[in-house]
Amino acid sequence: MLKLIFLLFFVFSTFILTSNDIKIESERIIRINLGDYINLQFEIVGITPELKNEIEKKTNQRFFKDFVYKWNIIKHSKQIATAYVDNVYGKTQPITFLVIINNEGEIVTTEILKYREQYGGQVKNKNWLDQFNGKDLNSEIEVGKNIHSISGATISVNSVTTGVKKILFLHAELIKVE
Amino acid sequence: MFSNFRNLTILTILTTNFLFAQSDQFFESKSSFSGYGELHYNQNQKEKESASKTLDFHRFVMFFGYSWTEKWSFKSEIELEHNFVQKGEGELELEQAYVNYHHADWFGFQVGVVLPSVGLINEYHEPPLFFGVERPDYHNKIIPTTWFGNGMAFYGTYNFFDYKLTIMEGLNSDKFSESSGIRNGRLKGFKANAKNLLYNLRIDYLGVAGLKIGGSYTFNKATGETSTNKISLLEFHSAYHQRNFYSVFEIGNISYEKGNLESSFGYYFDIGYNISDAFNCDTKIIPFFRYSDYNTAAKTKTGGDSEKKNHFTYWMIGLSVKPIPQIVFKLDYGTSTKELGNEKTKLFNLGIGYMF
């Protein structure tokens, strides 16, 4: 009986620990960047086909799904920032990334949550990702101009850069609706 | 009996749970298909001779892959060189085919036909990724790109360091030569001799945005039917890209234990600058300059002419035009000089390349 309880506990704990690791990791990073005294409101935001189409045309990149993860970040009952999790394709596998945007529409931080391949993993590099900090929808965000490329990670560099741009477009539209 | 059944149920729950835990919301099991290719026009003219002109679909390459889970996948690369294969002309090669286990960022492994990590181009050889219509001569004469073989590789990234350790089939020492170094000693996975394996370790530092700098060491006790020869290849490489500026530098040396040939040595550097801002267009227009110096017989026991016969210096100017990052139009012009007799060859190349 004891064995059974132990096993059940084990089963349960592994489930808790691993089923939502992307969400947990996202919230951990949000707190590192914006402090512990914040409330996080999580939602899964659907993207309408019209909006999807419009942003895909502007950026020449498809959305991974017709939804993204979104957190409203609240401090002293006022929203201070918004965070998104989305995916872009690397060479063959999805790259899961997080973008935090402040109320001025500027990027506070970008992080790769999960990279699933051997090649191109250099985009996880914090120094490379920091290049997006402070950029907003009106900024020029282009690989080879103001975003460095990385030798050996060209595909990932281009996909992540466009993915971040897509989130800026999406954020601007979602704010309008609100 | 009941107890057995119960245990079985628990085990099933455990295993299924384990499987669930491994996947996550975004991963989808799927097959992938991609490729690259390049068509070249090459014109070579030696002094006082008429020019040779060729039009060559140099490489047509297809990648097939399948991902079963987030961690387990298969990847392959099949290459057809020079349009067709017949009577020793053209090449059809299985350059990569491996099962990949990606445990985490810091550790993964591949088993099958793998690429040793030597220099910047052996693993990343799609045409939009390097300057010049043909791959740099350094990647033919010193590093025998594309170098692949049967074996396994371990890889990962930790902090700003990226590593890959490859253990694979060795080289055939009978085929080493003063004019092409170790190049003809590659077994290319064809019923490869597994007696003396080749070890290759590469470490890169990626702590500065836009910079990749690192080196690799390769060691093999090469074995042929009539000879053995220990070789070691040490190389350093760097690539830097900041705003519109590009630079590449690679240098490498091969040491041989036996025979007349003692070492092969070479280097090259590229400097390029994207001038598309001046034309206010999205198409990248990158003129570049390359200088290279290589000698497959850099040091021999007998010395003299054989060292000079295989020593070339080559300067080149060229242009890469990329309307989108995956398509490139290239042209280059330069002079290659053989040390012996100061023999000069003028080379002019045009090319188009793509990747997807």
Distance CA B295, CA A97 (A): 46
| Residue found by looking up tokens 């999406």 in the block | A170
CA distance A21 to A19: 6
CATH topology assigned to domain B32-355: Porin (2.40.160)
pLDDT at A10: 53
Q: Is the pLDDT at A7 greater than 70, yes or no?
A: no
CA distance B230 to B257: 5
CA-based R_g, chain B, Å: 23
Query: Which one-letter amino acid corresponds to residue B42?
Result: N
Give pLDDT, residue B60. Answer: 96
B323 and chain A in contact, CB less than 8 A? no
Please give the pLDDT value at position B89.
Answer: 84
Q: Which of B21, B157, B239 sits opposite A19 (nearest CB)?
A: B21
> Shortest Cα distance from B31 to chain A (angstroms)?
8
Residue in B132, B171, B148, B172 with CA at minimum distance from that of residue B272:
B132
- Contact between residue B291 and residue B266 where contact means Cβ atoms under 8 Å apart: no
Residue to test with chain A: of B8, B17, B22, B26, most A Cβ within 10 A: B26
Strand order in the sheet with A67-75: A39-46, A67-75, A78-89, A94-102, A107-114
What is the pLDDT confidence band of residue A149, given thresholds at 50, 70 and 90? Answer: confident
- Domain boundaries along the sequence of chain B: 32-355
Count A/B contacts: CB-CB distance under 8 Å.
117
Amino acid found at B53: K
CB interface of B with A, residues 189-208, below 8 Å: 206-208
Residue-by-residue pLDDT tens, chain B, 356 positions: 445 555 555 555 444 444 444 445 688 888 999 999 999 999 999 988 888 999 999 999 999 999 999 899 999 999 999 988 888 788 899 999 999 999 988 999 999 999 999 999 999 999 999 999 999 999 999 999 999 999 999 999 998 899 999 999 999 999 999 999 999 999 998 888 888 999 999 999 998 888 999 999 999 999 999 999 999 999 999 999 888 899 999 999 999 999 999 999 999 999 999 999 899 888 999 999 999 999 999 999 998 898 999 999 999 999 999 999 899 999 999 999 999 999 999 999 999 999 99
| pLDDT confidence of residue B156 | 94
Residues 120 to 149 of A: which have CB under 8 A from any B CB? 121-122, 124-125, 127-128, 130-131, 143-146, 148-149
Nearest CA in chain B to A60: B324
Q: Is B72 exposed, middle or buried (0-12, 13-18, 19+ CB in 10 A)?
A: middle
pLDDT at B348: 97
Report the interhelical angle of A154-177 vs A49-59 (nearest 10°).
140
Q: Which residues of B276-315 are buried (b: 16+ CB within 10 A; e: fewer)?
A: beeeeeeebbbebebebbbbbbbbbeeeeebbebbbbebe
pLDDT, tens digit, 9 for 90 and up, residues A94-111 = 999 999 999 999 999 999
CA distance B284 to B47: 35
